[in-house]
């Protein structure tokens, strides 16, 4: 089943756009599973759900709890576990942690951030039978500032080399984050596996966003996010109306009471 899902992703290269979103909970997973090719249980949950300032303090134990809930709620999507900061410092720790993750959560693949520095780690995991989703460009786990990458010639060459290295290492796809349009297009044209963009233009083979960003549940609204709803306002309205009903003793209603 795992290989079948990954083969479907690979076949979409230059053919059909790949739809990806994040999910950290059962309810969101059940909805996204109806529409997405890939669901990422991202370490961005640290900021989105727990109010952390970065993803660096997210533990593998926390990720496992959320990933189990997401995987159990999905039927068709490829579910990817985002390996937390410093859980893949070398190929042996990477394999130990990735093996544990797959066993406990039943996720279909893991995601690692980095380029040439981790190519041997990616290759090792793939040879051990663990599918890997790569991630180049802006790397949230190690980046000190949030800005577009690939504007300088030196940075463009580095990111391109990183993407090629991860592709050659056996990853089934690569997320490209916050890079200039021209570079995203160049990477997509120069590697054999699908590219999935987040702030990396329409030239990628697919797109991914944090679900809470596009639904208006988070306060994060960078240029590359299109907000399709404002659920924060909708939820606040519901709670405001509930509060009013309780204070006016209009809730519970007759239909809400057991007789």
Buried b (16+ CB within 10 A) or exposed e, 168-188: ebbbbbbbbbbbbbebbbbbb
**Arithmetic mean of pLDDT, 82-93:** 98
**Model pTM score:** 0.97
> Cβ distance 12 to 50 under 8 Å?
no
CA atoms of 140 and 85, how far apart (whole Å): 9
Per-residue pLDDT tens for 5-60? 999 999 999 999 999 999 999 999 999 999 999 999 999 999 999 999 999 999 99
Per-residue pLDDT tens for 189-234? 999 999 999 999 999 999 999 999 999 999 888 899 999 999 999 9
Per-residue pLDDT tens for 139-152? 999 998 889 999 99
Tokens of 82: 């985002």
Per-residue pLDDT tens for 103-156? 999 999 999 999 999 999 999 999 999 999 999 999 999 998 889 999 999 999
The rounded mean pLDDT for the chain is 97
Instruction: Identify the DSSP state of 149.
Output: B
Residue 241: enclosing H or E segment and its boundaries?
helix 231-247
Residues marked active site are found at: 177
Report all structural domains of the chain as residue ranges with CATH numbers, in order of start. Answer: 2-228 (3.20.20.60), 230-259 (no CATH)
Strands of 60-143 (E only): list them: 78-82, 109-111, 132-137
Phi, psi (degrees; rounded to nearest 5) at 93:
-70, -35
Cross-strand partners of 63: none
């Amino acid at each position: 089943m795992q290989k079948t899902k990954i083969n479907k992703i690979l076949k979409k290269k230059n053919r059909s756009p790949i739809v990806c979103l994040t999910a950290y909970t059962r309810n969101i997973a059940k909805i996204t599973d109806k529409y997405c090719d890939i669901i990422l249980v991202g370490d961005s949950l640290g900021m989105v759900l727990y109010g952390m300032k970065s993803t660096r303090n997210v533990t593998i134990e926390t990720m496992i709890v959320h990933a189990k809930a997401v995987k159990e709620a999905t039927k068709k999507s490829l579910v990817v576990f985002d390996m937390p900061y410093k859980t893949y410092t070398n190929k042996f720790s990477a394999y130990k942690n990735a093996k544990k993750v797959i066993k406990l959560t039943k996720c279909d693949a893991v995601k690692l951030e980095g380029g040439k520095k981790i190519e041997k780690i990616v290759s090792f995991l793939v040879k051990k039978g663990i599918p890997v989703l790569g991630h180049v460009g802006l790397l949230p786990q190690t980046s000190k500032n949030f800005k577009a990458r690939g504007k300088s010639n030196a940075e463009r060459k580095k990111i391109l080399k990183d993407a090629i290295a991860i592709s050659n290492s056996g990853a089934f796809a690569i997320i490209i984050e916050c890079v200039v349009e021209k570079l995203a297009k160049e990477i997509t044209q120069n590697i054999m596996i699908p590219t999935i963009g987040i702030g990396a233009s329409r030239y990628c083979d697919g797109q991914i966003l944090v679900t809470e960003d596009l639904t208006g549940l988070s306060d994060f609204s960078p240029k590359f996010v299109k907000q399709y709803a404002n659920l924060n306002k909708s939820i606040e309205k519901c709670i405001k109306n509930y509060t009013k009903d309780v204070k006016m003793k209009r809730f519970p209603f007759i239909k809400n009471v057991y007789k």
